[in-house]
């Protein structure tokens, strides 16, 4: 069985990988294991995890994961929104739509890591975008009134991935504006599990492109 290691931003993404993405890939003969970005090491041997305060931490973790020669691939699942200013490609993003811009950053990211087994992925614009793939299925996490408001936001864009990176209107900020009681690590994974991978794939083309590349490892 082939192995894929994935560097994720935090506990919410780790749960998504473990509960949604990994079971899907396992059916294809690919075992995926998530690792959360380590933000600080301490002398006693412990570490702090979650978030991306500076690029060097991501770079270091990825190179450690790529040191595992038994892994067929090492990939990432980091939020495009809120990347640190020193992240490769951010300063040279071209004008255009969000897809052209994120693909540019991913390309420069891959060039910096410079390893044939590395597959970069940055989530447009953050994990909460997935909640807009089909809010009607999120009744466990949101009230009917909240779902109606989420649906109105969803109807205003062609894809949830287009919900932008402005500090006041990023996906998580919109969810919190609709549902002040939203807890990322609790409600986020529950909502995404209710929505399901097929619906997310259909609604989010950048995510779908990445998922197809992961599935291709099973066919090689």
- Given a cut of 70, whether residue 80 has pLDDT beyond it is yes
Would you say 121 and 75 are in contact if contact means Cβ atoms under 8 Å apart?
Answer: yes
What are the angstrom distances between the C-alpha of 63 and each of 5, 38, 69, 78, 172? 12, 13, 11, 16, 30
pLDDT value at position 39? Answer: 67
pLDDT value at position 47? Answer: 43
Phi, psi of 3 (to 5 degrees): -120, 140
3-class state of residue 115 by DSSP? coil
| CATH architecture of residue range(s) 2-124+204-219 | 3-Layer(aba) Sandwich (3.40)
- 79, two tokens: 């939020």
pLDDT value at position 169? Answer: 94
User: What would the mean pLDDT of 100-110 be, rounded to a whole number?
Assistant: 98
Contacts of residue 1, Cβ cutoff 8 Å, sequence gap at least 6: 29, 30, 31
Confidence class for position 52, pLDDT limits 50, 70, 90: confident
- Given a cut of 90, whether residue 27 has pLDDT beyond it is yes
pLDDT value at position 51? Answer: 63
Would you say 99 and 56 are in contact if contact means Cβ atoms under 8 Å apart?
Answer: no
Domains of the chain, by residue range, sit at 2-124+204-219, 127-199
- DSSP code of residue 1: -
pLDDT value at position 2? Answer: 93
- Given a cut of 60, whether residue 42 has pLDDT beyond it is no
- Given a cut of 80, whether residue 219 has pLDDT beyond it is no
pLDDT value at position 153? Answer: 97
């Amino acid at each position: 069985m082939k192995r894929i290691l994935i560097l994720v931003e935090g506990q919410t993404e780790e749960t998504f990988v473990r509960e949604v993405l990994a079971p899907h890939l396992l059916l294809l003969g690919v075992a995926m294991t998530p690792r959360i970005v380590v933000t600080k090491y301490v002398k006693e041997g412990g570490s702090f995890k979650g978030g991306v305060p500076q690029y060097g931490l991501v770079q270091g973790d990825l190179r450690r994961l790529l040191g595992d020669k038994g892994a067929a691939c090492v990939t990432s699942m980091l939020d495009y929104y809120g990347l640190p200013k020193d992240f490769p490609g951010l300063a040279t993003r071209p004008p255009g739509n969000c897809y052209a811009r994120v693909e540019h950053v991913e390309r420069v990211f891959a060039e910096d890591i410079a390893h044939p087994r590395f597959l970069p992925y940055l989530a447009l614009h953050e994990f909460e975008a997935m909640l807009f793939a089909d809010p009607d299925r999120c009744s466990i996490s949101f009230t009917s009134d909240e779902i109606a408001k989420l649906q109105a936001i969803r109807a205003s864009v062609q894809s949830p991935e287009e919900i932008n990176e402005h500090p006041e209107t990023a996906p998580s900020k919109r969810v919190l504006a609709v549902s002040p009681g939203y807890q990322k690590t609790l409600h986020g994974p529950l909502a995404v599990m209710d929505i399901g991978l097929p619906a997310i794939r259909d609604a989010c083309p950048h995510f779908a492109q990445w998922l197809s590349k992961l599935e291709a490892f099973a066919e090689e």
